[in-house]
Amino acid sequence: MGKKNKQFVEKVTAMEEDFAQWYTDVVKQADLVDYGSVRGTMIIRPYGYAIWENIRDILDGKIKETGHQNMYFPLFIPESLLQKEKDHIEGFAPEVAWVTHGGDEELQERLVVRPTSEVLFAEHYSKIIHSYRDLPKLYNQWSNVVRWEKTTRPFLRSLEFLWQEGHTCHATDEDAAEETNKMLDVYAQVCEDYLAIPVVRGQKTEKEKFAGAKYTLTIESLMHDGKALQSGTSHHLGTGFAEGFGIRFTDEQGELKPVHQTSWGITTRLIGALIMVHGDNRGLVVPPRIAPTQVMIVPIAQHKEGVLDKGYQLKEQIATFARVDIDASDKMPGWKFNEYEMKGVPLRLEVGPKDIEKNQVVLVRRDTGDKEFVSMDELSMKIPALLEEIQTNLFNKAKELREEKTSVAKTFDEFKQLLEEKPGFIKAMWCGDVGCEEKIKEETSATSRCIPFDQETVHDKCVYCGEEADKLVYWAKAY
Amino acid sequence: MGKKNKQFVEKVTAMEEDFAQWYTDVVKQADLVDYGSVRGTMIIRPYGYAIWENIRDILDGKIKETGHQNMYFPLFIPESLLQKEKDHIEGFAPEVAWVTHGGDEELQERLVVRPTSEVLFAEHYSKIIHSYRDLPKLYNQWSNVVRWEKTTRPFLRSLEFLWQEGHTCHATDEDAAEETNKMLDVYAQVCEDYLAIPVVRGQKTEKEKFAGAKYTLTIESLMHDGKALQSGTSHHLGTGFAEGFGIRFTDEQGELKPVHQTSWGITTRLIGALIMVHGDNRGLVVPPRIAPTQVMIVPIAQHKEGVLDKGYQLKEQIATFARVDIDASDKMPGWKFNEYEMKGVPLRLEVGPKDIEKNQVVLVRRDTGDKEFVSMDELSMKIPALLEEIQTNLFNKAKELREEKTSVAKTFDEFKQLLEEKPGFIKAMWCGDVGCEEKIKEETSATSRCIPFDQETVHDKCVYCGEEADKLVYWAKAY
């Protein structure tokens, strides 16, 4: 790394030194967010929002392809409505914002600012579902939600965040189970194929499942510091809400039955995962498939005749096969290099007078730093190929890192030692007793991340109590 | 209209009988909205939301083409922040929702659920703008906002609605003025070219301008019942917020100056306009360019061999040039006809055994009811042409109706008589005195809609006071 990079590098704390500070530095320096004036809220700046728009558009396409329809529910939930499903209110009441006044008047009933919309969907479904012909109902909503969190960090845990929440109704438990699986698969695809984040798919334990669900499926990813991040969840809600809200249908035999429901969501948290999986000490690294700008053109000696013209001409040409921009501001090239490295733009294209003479450009990869001279005639072949290479490389690197940071513990001593010395996923057997799970959390602050679909027998005894155990669980400290 | 249509027609009150009830019937029967459980809120159902998505995507494309970037601000505004711009807080304080508690705790400072985000943008701009190089800043946000309205109606006036709000900063007053105009033009284009709603462009009077603005530009449209609807506004904010929030920049001469700002927005209200401009007694009529489904295929005698297969085959074929769907449910064709008429789908395609024999289909226009036999080989020519024809026809019909309902009044007696007998836009001269404007409102409940850009001299005296007057104003009762 040349001298010119120094000015920016100094602004970002090294991740080995202080990972939390590194994260904060990157979200700020890469212009992803600014802090809102209310504690724990964030302003998602244009660059951060453009990443979110790409994630949203990709996922929205898949949500629609799988037969779902978008709709929009109100922000406010009457207190009495939230209380209709007991487990649900217990799970959410401590962390909601309350509206008590409208204009000058005190409200007769307090309103909750939605922390999630199960009860709103449930109430609506109870009105519009009558017969088996009305099923399935496959709805989704993109919205903001509010949770009154005590400790907050941009993207990872904030008072307000953006998300989508799917809510579906089915005639049978099996149909709901199939939907729960299907949407987890969609999430895993978005994470792996677009965000280049490898995930472990599995089921949450009873203790960690969603408040009010029959069971919760999850995709779990691993950050650079060895902490896990729950990246998307899909809940089989069973008939709990249907019973509470009277969502019943007449089946083909004329019998009245409750519907079987699911709900599933991903949030702006995924941007946090992106940062912590791919980022490095020079800043963000954005996988090409979701990068707002895939190629940034930086003209060299742009005051010289023909350079800017060529830059704009290249931009126009590249725009036909990649998302491209040019920085023609009067900042020094070195400054620009730093800025787009910080922002994690996958490819930098440099073009100066000498390059023009030779009918070539310089392409620099953000992920490896590799530099290459490429003929201007080959850009339409070379750039898409390089972008694919970067995409694949990021995924492979992330997967390798995860494998490195995944260990097996057979005893609780091993478990504690690993957490200390080699933080990451710990694969360990569990007897199924919530007591053991709670003790592990109490004593190590690691939580069960999931019971992975890919089960293996790494041992035959529970890592905590030593009793017989046949469930493999992924454990980790988590965001 | 055949007998089969009756069952649905009876559900919708005739607009001549009770326009307000007709409107309510249509929004419900066309499955656009359902009422939320909090007074004055609405659930935007999939069909209504799909229309909104189309409006949003079209407008979002134009917002980006004109160099703007999307971002996202928090939902909550601290009370003290809202108070920084005096006119602004006075305008909004009576109609906001207040958050007073988070979890179990009472907040030290009350939070406002955003009714609009000027102050949030202003505070952010004050942090990120330093030099003329930072200008212009062209930001936009898509979000929900809350206004504690007393009287509400779906889409037209509700406690919560969806919108976009653009907020920009410029180096000069002229630049801000140009932006204000440009975005009004964009809104007018979306209304006229996509929603097929003709608009009058003009400036709001001082009395009717946005709280805190230097001036407000508006597009005004006219509904079927002769009431006006403000369909989009673009505000030149001057330097008021810049002074209040200290948004200053160093110009090229090194002088510190306040920025000049604009803001502009359109909302889900536009769906209300759409209903009331194009709808009829059979329900909604959606212009093809924003219709979620442009062609609905209804198989006739679908139990007969080959009919459904042909239907799906046609769907696949038509999908390459239009948004198409097929209703293969076991409802009677007559029911289906009614349903898609109610939903305003521009074209219905009927195909039955006899049609298949003759290699033809029946196309039925929603706007005129015209029926036509069309060869299956000509669909790729015929359907796009028909959709364009419908689009143009809807715009022309709406424009004709507006012309019919636009009158000139020279005296206040004429003014009152016209309002009574021929509700619509009244073009009348105004002396510029807010006293006259207030009196007109008091005595007739009509308001000044705008001072149109296309000025003409229909008289030389103020319609209220009879003094000399050279400003033409559009007046109307309004939603």
- Taking a C-beta distance cutoff of 8 angstroms, is the pair A95, A143 a contact? no
DSSP label at residue B288:
G
The pLDDT of residue A366 is 98
Number of domains in chain B: 3
Domain assignment present for residue A288? The answer is: no
Find where tokens 């070379």 sit: A382
Alpha helices in B208-266 (DSSP H): 240-245
Chain A closest CA to B109's CA: distance in Å?
Answer: 10
Beta carbons of B70 and A78 less than 8 Å apart: no
The pLDDT of residue B391 is 98
ipTM reported for the complex, 2 dp = 0.94
Domain assignment present for residue B245? The answer is: yes
The pLDDT of residue A10 is 53
Of B433, B424, B381, B372, residue with least CA distance to B403: B424
Domain assignment present for residue A397? The answer is: no
Domain assignment present for residue B6? The answer is: no
As a whole number of angstroms, the distance between CA B204 and CA B191 comes to 19
Sign of the CA dihedral with B233 first, then B234, B236, and B239 last? positive
Beta carbons of B43 and A71 less than 8 Å apart: yes
Mean pLDDT of A131-140: 97
Chain A closest CA to B101's CA: distance in Å?
Answer: 5
Domain assignment present for residue A251? The answer is: yes
Statement: residue A89 has pLDDT above 50: yes
As a whole number of angstroms, the distance between CA B25 and CA A15 comes to 60
The pLDDT of residue B87 is 75
Question: Band of the pLDDT at B10, cuts 50, 70, 90?
Answer: low
* CA B73 to mean position of chain CA atoms: 23
Provide the terminal-to-terminal Cα distance of chain A, rounded to the nearest Å.
32
Chain A closest CA to B103's CA: distance in Å?
Answer: 5
A161 CB neighbours in chain B (<8 A) are none
Question: Band of the pLDDT at A4, cuts 50, 70, 90?
Answer: very low
Alpha helices in A284-332 (DSSP H): 307-318
Per-residue pLDDT tens for A21-58?
Answer: 999 999 999 999 999 999 999 999 999 999 999 999 99
Per-residue pLDDT tens for A302-325?
Answer: 999 999 999 999 999 999 999 999
Q: Pairing state of beta strands A295-299 and A324-326?
A: parallel
Chain A closest CA to B337's CA: distance in Å?
Answer: 19
Statement: residue A191 has pLDDT above 90: yes
Q: Which residues contact B425 (CB under 8 A, 6 or more apart)?
A: B200, B220, B222, B228, B402, B405, B406, B407, B449, B474, B475, B476
- Please indicate, yes or no, whether residues B222 and B124 belong to a single structural domain of this protein: yes
Tell me what percent of chain A is helix, strand and coil, each rounded to the nearest 5: 40, 30, 35
Domain assignment present for residue B7? The answer is: no
- Please indicate, yes or no, whether residues B23 and B109 belong to a single structural domain of this protein: yes
CATH number at residue A304: 3.40.50.800
> Which of A38, A114, A245 to mutate to probe the B interface, most B CBs <10 Å?
A38
Per-residue pLDDT tens for A236-281?
Answer: 999 999 999 999 999 999 999 999 999 999 999 999 999 999 999 9
- Please indicate, yes or no, whether residues A381 and A417 belong to a single structural domain of this protein: no
- Please indicate, yes or no, whether residues A189 and A83 belong to a single structural domain of this protein: yes
The pLDDT of residue B11 is 78
Per-residue pLDDT tens for A155-173?
Answer: 999 999 999 999 999 999 9
Statement: residue A433 has pLDDT above 70: yes
Question: Band of the pLDDT at A3, cuts 50, 70, 90?
Answer: very low
- Please indicate, yes or no, whether residues B348 and B226 belong to a single structural domain of this protein: no
Chain B closest CA to A165's CA: distance in Å?
Answer: 14
The pLDDT of residue B291 is 98
Statement: residue A293 has pLDDT above 50: yes
- Please indicate, yes or no, whether residues A70 and A208 belong to a single structural domain of this protein: yes
- Among A388, A415, A437, the domain-final residue is A388
Per-residue pLDDT tens for B288-333?
Answer: 999 999 999 999 999 999 999 999 999 999 999 999 999 999 999 9
Question: What DSSP letter does each residue of B190-202 carry, written as one string?
Answer: IIIIIS----EEE
Beta carbons of A98 and B100 less than 8 Å apart: yes
Structure tokens given for B197: 């709603």
Beta carbons of B69 and A81 less than 8 Å apart: no
Nearest CA in chain A to B114: A75
Beta carbons of B44 and A72 less than 8 Å apart: yes
Mean pLDDT of B35-54: 96
Chain B closest CA to A53's CA: distance in Å?
Answer: 9
Structure tokens given for A262: 């699911």
Mean pLDDT (chain B) is 95
- Taking a C-beta distance cutoff of 8 angstroms, is the pair B245, B201 a contact? no
Share of chain A above pLDDT 70, in %: 98
- Please indicate, yes or no, whether residues A217 and A353 belong to a single structural domain of this protein: no
Statement: residue B478 has pLDDT above 60: yes
- Please indicate, yes or no, whether residues B340 and B472 belong to a single structural domain of this protein: no
- Please indicate, yes or no, whether residues B270 and B320 belong to a single structural domain of this protein: no
Per-residue pLDDT tens for B365-412?
Answer: 999 999 999 999 999 999 999 999 999 999 999 999 999 999 999 999
Chain A closest CA to B288's CA: distance in Å?
Answer: 20
A120 CB neighbours in chain B (<8 A) are 36-37, 43
If you count residue pairs, one on A and one on B, with CB atoms under 8 Å apart, how many are there? 156
Burial of A111 (0-12, 13-18, 19+ CB in 10 A): buried
Q: CA–CA distance from A59 to each of A194, A270, A308 (Å)?
A: 10, 12, 37
Q: Which residues contact B268 (CB under 8 A, 6 or more apart)?
A: B44, B52, B155, B161, B162, B163
B72 CB neighbours in chain A (<8 A) are 43-44, 49, 52, 162
CATH number at residue B55: 3.30.930.10
Find where tokens 């889900």 sit: B268
Q: Which residues of A379-418 are buried (b: 16+ CB within 10 A; e: fewer)?
A: beebbeebbebbbeebbebbeebbeebbbbbbebeebbeb
Q: Which residues contact A436 (CB under 8 A, 6 or more apart)?
A: A430, A462, A463, A464, A465
- Please indicate, yes or no, whether residues A136 and A265 belong to a single structural domain of this protein: yes
Statement: residue A92 has pLDDT above 60: yes
The total of other beta-carbon atoms located within 10 Å of residue A316's CB is 11
Least CB–CB distance from B70: residue in A53, A96, A127: A53
Least CB–CB distance from A41: residue in B52, B69, B76: B76
As a whole number of angstroms, the distance between CA B136 and CA A330 comes to 16
Q: What are residue A140's phi and psi, to 5 degrees?
A: -145, 150
DSSP label at residue A114:
P
Beta carbons of A49 and B69 less than 8 Å apart: yes
- Taking a C-beta distance cutoff of 8 angstroms, is the pair A452, A472 a contact? yes
Beta carbons of B113 and A113 less than 8 Å apart: yes
Question: What DSSP letter does each residue of B12-32 carry, written as one string?
Answer: S--TTT-HHHHHHHHHHHTT-
Find where tokens 């006293």 sit: B435
The pLDDT of residue B24 is 96
E strand segments, A290-439: 295-299, 324-326, 347-351, 360-365, 371-375, 406-408, 425-430
Q: What are residue B179's phi and psi, to 5 degrees?
A: -60, -45
B69 CB neighbours in chain A (<8 A) are 46, 49-50
Per-residue pLDDT tens for B167-220?
Answer: 999 999 999 999 999 999 999 999 999 999 999 999 999 999 998 899 999 999
Mean pLDDT of A351-363: 97
Structure tokens given for B51: 């229309």
* CA B129 to mean position of chain CA atoms: 32
Please, what is the Cα angle at B343 between B223 and B307, to 5 degrees?
150
- Please indicate, yes or no, whether residues B307 and B171 belong to a single structural domain of this protein: no
Beta carbons of B139 and A43 less than 8 Å apart: no
Per-residue pLDDT tens for A379-404?
Answer: 999 999 999 999 999 999 999 999 99
Per-residue pLDDT tens for B133-175?
Answer: 999 999 999 999 999 998 999 999 999 999 999 999 999 999 9
Least CB–CB distance from A113: residue in B72, B96, B99: B99
Domain assignment present for residue B401? The answer is: no
State which residues form the domain around A457: 406-476
Per-residue pLDDT tens for B70-122?
Answer: 999 999 999 999 888 777 777 777 889 999 999 989 999 999 999 999 999 99
Q: What are residue A198's phi and psi, to 5 degrees?
A: -70, 140
- The three-state secondary structure class of B425 is strand
As a whole number of angstroms, the distance between CA B2 and CA A469 comes to 71
* CA B38 to mean position of chain CA atoms: 24
The pLDDT of residue B211 is 85
Q: Across chain A, which distance is largest between two alpha carbons, in Å?
A: 81
Residues forming a β-bridge with B296:
B325, B348
Domain assignment present for residue B288? The answer is: no
Question: Band of the pLDDT at A7, cuts 50, 70, 90?
Answer: very low
Beta carbons of A113 and B75 less than 8 Å apart: yes
Per-residue pLDDT tens for B247-291?
Answer: 999 999 999 999 999 999 999 999 999 999 999 999 999 999 999
Mean pLDDT (chain A) is 95
- Please indicate, yes or no, whether residues B237 and B270 belong to a single structural domain of this protein: yes
Beta carbons of A74 and B127 less than 8 Å apart: no
The pLDDT of residue A5 is 42
Least CB–CB distance from A37: residue in B38, B44, B81: B81
